[in-house]
Amino acid sequence: MSRTYLGEFEELVLLAVALLQQHPTGAYGVTIADELQQRTHRTTSVTGVHVVLYRLEEKGLVGSELGGATLARGGRRKRLFTLTAAGQQVLREMRQLRMGFWEALPTPFFS
Amino acid sequence: MNKSLFDPTPQPQRRTSARPPRWADRLLSWLTPTDLLEELQGDLHEQFAQQVGQVGSWRARFWYGLEALKVIRPYYLRRRVASLANRQKEPFPKRRATTRPYFTPEYPSPSLLHPDMIRNYVKIAWRTLWKNKLFSLVNILSLSLSMAVGVILFTGLKATFDTDQFHPKLNQLVRILTQETTEGVQTNWATAPLPLATQLGSVSLVEKTVKVGLAGKHNLQTDKGDVPIDLKFSEPSFFDVFGFNLLSGNAQSLTNNPTTLFLTQKTAKKLFGNTNAVGQTVQFEKLGYFTVGGIIQDPPLETHLPIEAMLSIRAAELLEKKGAIPTSSQDWGGFKSSAIYARLQSEGNVEQLNATLQHYTRTLDKSHLQFLAQPIEEITPGKIDLKNNPHAGTSWEDVKTQLVIILSLTLLAAFNYISLALARAFSRAQEVGVRKTIGATRGQVIGQFLMESTLVALLALAFTVPCVTVLAHYIPDMDDVTFSWDIALVVSLITYALITGLVAGALPAWLLSAFEPIQVLRKMKNIKLFRGVAVYKALIVVQFSVTILFMILVVIVADYDRKNKAIIRSTVPSNVLTLDLKGEHYQNLQTELSQLSQVEKTLATNWYYEPLKLGKDSVTINDKTLAIHYVSIDPKAIETEGIRLLAGQNFPETMPQRTEQYVLVNEAAATLLASKSETLVGQNLLLDSASVQVIGILPNELIGQQRPLLYRYLPQEITTLTIKIKPDTELEAIKAIQSVWKEHFPQKTANLYNLKAYRYSGEINGEISGEMEILGGSALIVMIIAALGILGIASYSVETRTKELGVRKILGANNIKLVWIVTKNFGLLMLLAGLIGVPAGLFCGDLLRKELGSYLDLGLINISIGFISVALVGLLTVLSQTIRAGQIEPVKVLKAE
């Protein structure tokens, strides 16, 4: 399969980017980490999130640009991430893959 | 990538509690790849702000620290390392600037050490120096003065390291050391017993051995009197093993002919002038006649084995038989006056040779001898403590001390630069502001200032080195230091200049680069540039108090010298000759000489003998025991010299020859021995164990020695005949006396000199003594440095106050008033320096007085001469600049307002 391999955490981060890029805050380290923490109740560190984001960027699944310095950041700019077409494609494929599995499962499984 | 605009944000609140810990930030900036730092740190700060709101600042800080540590993970580290490797190294890492550049440069700033940047630094530094010619000149001159001493020390060090580098196959040459153990005490000697050499010759490791006998100084007799010459005995292999060359003559003649003498060029010149020395016959006292068989070329570099004259080992053996020199050639115990050198088959054999030498260990009556081989290269600078090693020169310890001196001189040199640079900070501040606005980082501004200071230091070096090489010929002890100019020396000198420049430039660069553009460019007048504005004032005070201290010392020593000379000039008569007795009995000679028609009087003393023969005795009086020097004197001496006794009387005409009954003391000794010196006359002293009576007190300056002295009558210690002749008969008298001497002692030449012309020529001709030269020289240097420093600052203080002075002039101040306004502050500084310098001078003068005796005058006149001369020089220097204050034209200086 030529599809890009994604780890679980990577997938979650990618989903978070897809979600947060619609928000006015934008998708960057802090918001992504917060989002993940709220949804998964896992402690997520910004540094870890960043590593994943950079990897995703290297794979071409997200794009980024700098901007939006604020006072709390000491005047530093943030790197705002957006989903690329490839990223959307990957998410869609993942979803279809999983849905395929679920549909194949017998219904009593959910009783 | 879009360039996003963001407002030049004011600083985040400086409340430390709301700030993430600094160490963590620093850690982040070290560990994170540069291109990722901004966003990552920004995110962390943002989260930190949230955390502060949720869990309080203390826990937030803890959390932040942990978070920063999490950067240590392979992903970041790998990229960090890669980026470090790619980038040329940046010596000043880009810190988060306190002020952000006013627009973010589109392209990253080039690294500090980028060739283009360096070229730019040099260009700008050169322009700045050229623009401020006076300051540059002042800086260069004062730096070069202090650097001169450093350069001299460096050449000395170089000479040390060059020592003995001229021998061929240097790596294979060793000297044999003797380790003597006597009663458990171990002593290392640089000398070795000669019989060992023959045994060494059979060791396979050794290619060749050289025996060198060290005979020490022997008197060579010439018609001008004795010339002491250092004699060495050796064999032909000497010229093979060592780098000494024979200019004429054959090395083999050392074995063939025991009366052959080799001289070095220098010695030959000293003895025979420009006439050809080869073939001449000379006579050594006690040793006999020798014929000059060859001339040894003076070595190109320093050596631990300096040669003046060389005889053959055969000659040494013959002379030992005659008893003229102590035996050493066949005797293991005589190892202290001979040395052995050897050339090994190959370089690495020293260890093996040392192992072999274990077999040659020898036991004498009381001591045990072991032998070691020392590579020639390790002689200078020496690491081990060796006896009989007189010409080894500087040891490693001394080398270290010299380096420390050089370093502290560098600091001293840096002072002026620092004070001037700080004084001029105002005019540079705007420049820094503009540079930073355009986008220069602090590191680049620092680089600019450091480049200026190093450029100044290099120029100073370029100025110093030729001066020192020329001056070296006039500095005593410097002209015979031989060293070669090579890359190592040039590199170390340039490094020295670079270090000087960096040290001098560091503080000003650091302070000046910290200026914030907004403040500097908004309103110059209101900013407080540094917390310590008084730095340069303190520097001036320190420099001038040191100068005053030196000046006071110079004045009192000069005064002392002048008085001494006056005493010598007035007391030493010109019609007195001295005749060396050379250990012979003088009675017969003296009676015969007194009968000569030209001779008025003769007297026997050990007075004018140099070095003055001073014995030391313990003297006990009233239960007080002191050690006092004594000279022996003939009773008639006091009479002839016309010395008036301060108290008491001279020795009686008929002195008992066997036991001492009377002594004379000088004033200094008298005050030491009794509270009221007059009461001492007639009292009995216990001199060692014999009781003697003090018969009179002599004035102090009898011999030019201010120390306490006893005058005793000890005929056997008398070494000199002092002969007073009738006026205007000197030539005939000399002839007559010499012929009488020849009759008595045909073996020895007469050392006959005119006392005043020979012994005191220096003092009479007004030559400056050595200490005076050093003291005066250093005082001059310190004074010039201080004056140069104050010159720059005075000039600057006028420049910065032109507008104020212009306004004052409009309001009616006259020229004198204006000059006074700018000068008076410096006057105050001078007074302050005086307040420190004068007591310091008094203190040091007092120490000196204890050394030289009470004739040092620490009175008001001398002290004020010292202080006023320095203050005058300082104020005149200041005035030369501040006088311009009077010429200010308000129209011109206020035009732009």
CB contact under 8 A, A69 and B9: yes
B739: three-class secondary structure by DSSP: helix
**Cα-to-chain-centroid distance, residue B271:** 32
Q: What is the pLDDT of residue B770?
A: 59
Tens-digit pLDDT profile for residues B440-485: 888 888 989 999 999 999 999 999 888 887 777 766 555 556 667 7
Q: What is the pLDDT of residue B6?
A: 40
Report the chain A residue with the minimal C-alpha distance to residue B25. A74
Q: How many CB atoms lie within 10 A of CB B248?
A: 14
B2's tokens: 């879009």
| Cβ pair B229, B308 in contact under 8 A | yes
Q: What is the average pLDDT across B290-311?
A: 86
Tens-digit pLDDT profile for residues B33-50: 777 888 888 888 888 888
Pairing mode, strands B367-375 and B684-687: unpaired
Q: What is the average pLDDT across A69-77?
A: 80
Q: What is the pLDDT of residue B706?
A: 59
Contact with chain A for residue B39, Cβ under 8 A: yes
Classify the phi-psi angles of B249: left when phi > 0, otherwise alpha if psi is within -120 to 50, otherwise beta. Answer: left
Q: What is the pLDDT of residue B315?
A: 85
B341's tokens: 């050198």
- Greater pLDDT, B580 or B261: B261
CB contact under 8 A, A50 and B36: yes
Domain covering A8-105 in this structure, CATH number: 1.10.10.10
**Mean of per-residue pLDDT scores for chain B:** 78
The full set of domain ranges for chain B reads 16-86, 115-160+397-533, 170-392, 537-564+768-893, 571-758
Contact with chain B for residue A28, Cβ under 8 A: yes
Q: What is the average pLDDT across A88-104?
A: 90
Tens-digit pLDDT profile for residues B782-796: 788 788 878 877 877
Nearest to B616 by CA among B624, B625, B603: B625
Q: What is the pLDDT of residue A77?
A: 85
Contact with chain A for residue B42, Cβ under 8 A: yes
Q: How confident is the model at residue B90 (pLDDT cuts 50, 70, 90)?
A: very low
CB contact under 8 A, A77 and B42: yes
Contact with chain A for residue B12, Cβ under 8 A: yes
Q: What is the pLDDT of residue B532?
A: 47
The full set of domain ranges for chain A reads 8-105
Contacts of A38 in chain B (CB under 8 A): none
Nearest to B452 by CA among B145, B127, B92: B127
pLDDT over 90, % of chain B: 3
CB contact under 8 A, B42 and A74: yes
Q: Which amino acid is at B54?
A: Q
Rounded to 10°, the helix B396-423/B487-512 angle is: 40
Q: How confident is the model at residue B637 (pLDDT cuts 50, 70, 90)?
A: low
Q: What is the DSSP string of B220-234?
A: EEETTEEEEEEEEEE
Of B47, B70, B71, the CB nearest to A30: B47
Q: Is the per-residue pLDDT at B9 higher than 50?
A: no
Contacts of B51 in chain A (CB under 8 A): none
Q: What is the DSSP string of B607-652?
A: SS-SS---EEEEEEETTEEEEEEEEE--HHHHHHTTPPPSEE-PPP
Buried b (16+ CB within 10 A) or exposed e, B667-702: bbbbbbbbeebeebbeeebbbeeeebebbbbbebbb
Contact with chain A for residue B67, Cβ under 8 A: yes
Tens-digit pLDDT profile for residues B700-736: 655 445 567 777 777 666 777 777 788 777 788 888 8
> Complex ipTM, two decimals?
0.86
Report the chain A residue with the minimal C-alpha distance to residue B14. A74
Tell me the CA distances in angstroms from B167 to B292, B302, B388, one per residue in order: 25, 11, 22
CB contact under 8 A, B12 and A76: no
Name the β-bridge partners of B216: B231
Q: How far is B844 from chain A (nearest CA, A)?
A: 59
Q: What is the pLDDT of residue B835?
A: 92
Tens-digit pLDDT profile for residues B150-176: 888 888 888 888 888 888 888 888 888
**Lowest-confidence region among B113-127, B585-599, B635-649, B840-854:** B635-649
CB contact under 8 A, A33 and B73: no
